[in-house]
Amino acid sequence: MTVSPPRTDAVEAPAAGASPPPGDARRRRPTSYLLTAGLIGALLALCLLSAGLGAYHLPLGDVLASVLHRAGLGGHALDRTAESVLWNIRLPRVVLALLVGSSLGCAGALMQGVFGNPLAEPGVIGISAGAAVGAVGAIALGLGFLGNWTVTVCAFAAGLATVSLVYVMSRSGGRTEVVTLILTGIAVNAFAGAMIGLFVFFADNAQITQITFWQLGSIAQATWPKVLAVLPCAAIGLLVAPVYARQLDLLALGERPARHLGVRVERLRAVMILVVALLTAAAVAVAGVISFVGLLVPHLLRMANGPGHRFLVPGSALGGAVVLVAGDLAARTAAAPAELPLGVLTALFGSPFFFALLRRTRRRQGGWA
């Protein structure tokens, strides 16, 4: 009796974060172009819709005419009320949603690349929780040394201080182990949660209402000064992140192979954590805690186009912007005239959708590993 040799034509699913082989990369290139074009088109359409829809309806033609007029490319000005609604309320909100969403999406892709795990997100190392402690503490203690900017500045500073503390505490012998970094982040998250609970316990009813509103996540208070406040951090992070895409691909092979291929792993990890801290702390400071964007968007794009960071990092920024602009539009219009909390909306739809994706991935590919 002869025994048939085992089949060798089956292709094993690539590990999370691993770089695709050159032939696979060539096959995926048209897909990345199509996805990029689709994301850009969807983002432009959603921005126009979000600028026009609301309690005061603005036709799409009027929105385009006003934007072209302000840019000196023709068009015409609207009446005083319409101009005020468009330029002082709608557009700051659209731009802020775009910046916050792109920051969170890009930060999620970087975190997953650094940890080599598609389930990592910026909250793992305590950035969001630290920023929340700063904001809640400023509200509960009644701080007002910077006027309306006090909560935002405290949240941003606390987020950066928290990630610095986590990074310093996780270093040993000049190196940072991923497991130690995660465990330190878990401990800091628990401590931050206790601090938030303590502040809430001593806060009065008005402060508790403000704290609750901030923790639920919202960009309802968007203004052009807030856009300008988050713009430098978002711009620096979004411009720096793609530069390290190739090194993140090499890091996916493992620390030792990456070092042999010329990657300075500790320096790369430190730079990436700093970039993630800038992006996340700035986003959380102006919008509160908005979950699942940094986790879900890179996961979806990795399933659609593979784990290569050349597309994944900028693509996650575009995808995050699409998700948050769409989420803010839904938050404003789904229960009008009331407004739903944006962070609640993203978690409400993101968690079951993400669970369905995990089940689908495990059924078809046996998981990511």
Under DSSP, is residue 15 helix (H, G, I), strand (E, B) or coil?
A: coil
Distance between CA atoms of residues 251 and 161, nearest Å: 26
Q: Is the pLDDT of residue 211 over 50?
A: yes
Q: What is the pLDDT of residue 248?
A: 92
List the chain domain ranges: 96-359
Q: What is the pLDDT of residue 239?
A: 95
Segment 338-344 mean pLDDT = 85
Tokens at residue 312, please? 């994944």
Span of 33-47, 284-298, 319-333 with lowest mean pLDDT: 284-298
Question: Residue 96, class by beta-carbon neighbours within 10 Å (0-12 exposed, 13-18 middle, 19+ buried)?
Answer: buried
Task: Quick: pLDDT tens for 2-16.
Answer: 444 444 333 333 444
Under DSSP, is residue 176 helix (H, G, I), strand (E, B) or coil?
A: strand
For every residue of 22-79, DSSP letters joined together read HHHHHHHHHHHHHHHHHHHHHHHHHHHHHHH-SSS---HHHHHHHHHHHTTSS-----
Q: Label residue 364 by pLDDT band (50, 70, 90).
A: low
Q: What is the pLDDT of residue 182?
A: 80
The pLDDT mean for the chain works out to: 84
Q: What percent of the chain has pLDDT over 70?
A: 89
Distance between CA atoms of residues 4 and 181, nearest Å: 48
Tokens at residue 101, please? 């969403």
Under DSSP, is residue 169 helix (H, G, I), strand (E, B) or coil?
A: helix
Name the DSSP class of 175.
E
Q: What is the pLDDT of residue 29?
A: 64
Segment 281-286 mean pLDDT = 88
Q: Label residue 321 by pLDDT band (50, 70, 90).
A: very high
CB atoms within 10 A of CB 82: 17
Under DSSP, is residue 172 helix (H, G, I), strand (E, B) or coil?
A: strand
Segment 233-242 mean pLDDT = 93
Task: Quick: pLDDT tens for 53-82.
Answer: 888 889 999 999 999 988 888 888 888 899
Span of 4-13, 256-265, 290-299, 310-319 with lowest mean pLDDT: 4-13
Q: What is the pLDDT of residue 19?
A: 47
Fold of 96-359: ABC transporter involved in vitamin B12 uptake, BtuC (1.10.3470)
Segment 190-203 mean pLDDT = 91
Q: What is the pLDDT of residue 150?
A: 87
Q: What is the pLDDT of residue 240?
A: 94
Q: Which residues are CB-neighbours of 209 under 8 A, at least 6 positions away?
A: none
Q: Label residue 17 by pLDDT band (50, 70, 90).
A: very low
Q: What is the pLDDT of residue 365?
A: 58
Q: What is the pLDDT of residue 73?
A: 85
Secondary structure element (H or E) that encloses residue 171, with its range: strand 171-172
CA 234-86-316 angle, to 5 degrees, is 30
Q: Is the pLDDT of residue 88 over 70?
A: yes
Q: Is the pLDDT of residue 28 over 60?
A: no
Segment 37-61 mean pLDDT = 92
β-pair type (175-176, 171-172): antiparallel
Segment 331-342 mean pLDDT = 84
Task: Quick: pLDDT tens for 266-279.
Answer: 889 889 988 998 89
Distance between CA atoms of residues 290 and 107, nearest Å: 13
Q: Is the pLDDT of residue 221 over 80?
A: yes
Question: Residue 216, class by beta-carbon neighbours within 10 Å (0-12 exposed, 13-18 middle, 19+ buried)?
Answer: middle
Tokens at residue 132, please? 């929340």
Q: Label residue 46 by pLDDT band (50, 70, 90).
A: very high
> Taking the model in full, what pTM does it have?
0.84
Task: Quick: pLDDT tens for 103-151.
Answer: 999 999 998 888 877 777 787 788 888 888 998 999 998 888 888 788 8
